[in-house]
Amino acid sequence: MSGRIARFIRTLMVCSLLAFTVWACFACVEGGPINTLLSPIARKTNFVILGLDKSGRRTDSIIAGCLNTENKSVNLLSIPRDTLVTVSADRLDVMKKRYPGIPGDGRMKINSVYTYGGEEYGADFAVKQAEDLLGVKIQYYVTINLSAFRYIVDQIGGVEYDVPFHMKYADPAQDLVIDLPPGLQLLNGEQAEGLVRYRKSDDGSHAEYTDLSRAQTQQAFIKALAGKIISEKNLLENAAALISAWREYTDTNMDPTAIAKYLKHIREFKRYDISSNMLITKEAWINGSDYIIVDAEASGDAIERVFGLVDGELPNSSKGKPIKVLNGGALSGLAARGRVFLINNGFTVSGIGNYESERTAYTRIFVKREGMGGDIQALYPGSKIIVDGEAFDEEVVVVLGLEAE
């Protein structure tokens, strides 16, 4: 995905959360006392931010995250836009009605899911695909047009920030010109965008400015931006700009009452810790196109670090992961039947074949890491889960036993 966009989408998240809250308060206060809007919210709230390109038809960036009100943290996880995913059969059927030329096996880049879902289903399908990829339940999503960033900073009169050194960089292809002198200054929208998008200098100086440095700059700017917007003096003064930005540039599945419940925590946001995380991936060339392949096993720690326990379970859903089905019985066509059975239950099957090793009466579910496969096991009474990182290249392999015949 566009690295520059991914690096400053975190700031857009703050703007959207603030806009959620202000808009909700003004929309709902007529229905009752403000105290009714501040009822307790979940300790953890999982969300996805879909950053749309200028056309509004593609997701240039996808950020999943978890807002934790108990330990006052926001943990973010970037999903590369070129990530290879396999769309479930039900969603693929809807897409094919709009775009008959979609690959029949449902394999595509994750940023195409929003496009093929169209205006009616795009956001919902993109969220479900993120759920399948990460194995977590997403409560809320927000789509953000990237023009919102400059607009909000300009509308609140700029943000004061201490630029660490002369940031100078130009990229005509990206319509990007950054030229920020060092020192404390009031940044307008264009300058603030340059600050958070800055990667390197034209002359090769400041090579010590690493990815970690950029993350620290972005987090510091987020806090400065949030601090100005949510101060007691400025909250009402900035409400009109936030509401305008919210209505013009964003969309969400949160209703006003739900949004308003987050007011208390948004007002405390300047004290929250913000962490950025990345999936472990590798590049692959498939059918003439570049893809990003997520290493689910290696990414397990990052996913758990961001989302932790979800409803008492680790994020290990098998839905959305390509599953291979092997015939470990004696009846011809068993794997093909198993494929249809799993697809009808919402799983994605990448291929079928014959199991060449030991036959057993029970079905075996080979998985890469502990905790996976439970949702498949529930469909096959008496089946067993085998954790073996070396048995197969695939992350999940179902070897149907004699009893499945």
Q: Are residues 123 and 210 in the same domain?
A: yes
Q: Are residues 373 and 254 in the same domain?
A: no
CA separation, residue 342 to residues 90, 353, 359, 364 (Å): 12, 15, 21, 14
Q: Are residues 68 and 94 in the same domain?
A: yes
Given 250, 275, 307, the domain boundary residue is 307
Query: Do 251 and 44 contact (CB within 8 A), yes or no?
Result: no
Number of domains in the chain: 2
CA separation, residue 3 to residues 62, 171, 211, 341 (Å): 11, 14, 11, 40
**Residue 178 belongs to some domain of the structure:** no
Segment holding 76, helix H or strand E? strand 73-79
Report pTM.
0.61
**Residue 170 belongs to some domain of the structure:** no
- Provide the pLDDT for residue 400: 93
The boundaries of the domain holding residue 122 are: 3-156+205-307
Q: Are residues 23 and 109 in the same domain?
A: yes
Give the bridge partners for 285, in sequence order: 290
Query: Do 257 and 39 contact (CB within 8 A), yes or no?
Result: no
- For the chain, residues with pLDDT lower than 50 are 1-12, 14, 17, 19-38, 310-314
**Residue 166 belongs to some domain of the structure:** no
Q: Are residues 90 and 16 in the same domain?
A: yes
- Tokens 């290696």 sit at which residue? 298
**Residue 313 belongs to some domain of the structure:** no
Given 307, 332, 356, the domain boundary residue is 307
Q: Are residues 145 and 225 in the same domain?
A: yes
The counts of H helices and E strands in the chain are: 12, 19
Closest CA to 136 of 308, 345, 366, 367: 308
Q: Are residues 285 and 367 in the same domain?
A: no
- Provide the pLDDT for residue 298: 79
Q: Are residues 21 and 97 in the same domain?
A: yes
By three-state DSSP, how is residue 274 classified?
A: strand
**Residue 257 belongs to some domain of the structure:** yes
Given 307, 342, 361, the domain boundary residue is 307
Distance CA 58, CA 47 (A): 19
Segment holding 393, helix H or strand E? none
By three-state DSSP, how is residue 396 classified?
A: strand
CATH number at residue 247: 3.40.630.190
First to last CA, the chain: 45
**What DSSP state is assigned to residue 166?**
-
Distance CA 304, CA 316 (A): 10
**Residue 195 belongs to some domain of the structure:** no
CATH number at residue 383: 3.30.70.2390
Q: Are residues 256 and 371 in the same domain?
A: no
**Residue 164 belongs to some domain of the structure:** no
Closest CA to 395 of 307, 296, 272: 296
Q: Are residues 256 and 350 in the same domain?
A: no
CA separation, residue 56 to residues 60, 94, 122, 345, 397 (Å): 9, 20, 11, 33, 38
Q: State both tokens at 69.
A: 């009100």
**Residue 78 belongs to some domain of the structure:** yes
Pairing of strands 348-354, 322-327: parallel
